[in-house]
Amino acid sequence: MTQEEFRKLSWSELPPKRNLTLEQFIKEQDAKADKFDYEGTVVCYSTNYAYRVPWHLRSEDAQTAWELGYLEEELD
């Protein structure tokens, strides 16, 4: 599913969350050619930046994933 297709899904259409740990998420992303190839939702953290949080990553691991460079920054 493309990122655009994922964004168009209603809440009831979203796939079940897998609640990956940070370690599981990093292992999956490292195996891909594009480490930003994941289903996610855009989260704004200030007026200066926003990034895509992976749908399947546990929410408590999002900040660490960002600090390690595993989350894609949204520029638009």
Predicted model pTM? 0.76
| pLDDT values of the chain reduced to their tens digit, one per residue, 76 residues | 777 888 888 888 988 888 999 999 999 999 999 988 888 887 766 667 788 889 899 989 988 998 999 998 876 5
Cα-Cα-Cα-Cα dihedral of 34, 4, 46, 16, to 10°?
Answer: -80
CB neighbourhood size of 64 (10 A)? 13
Count CA within 13 A, CB hemisphere, residue 62. 19
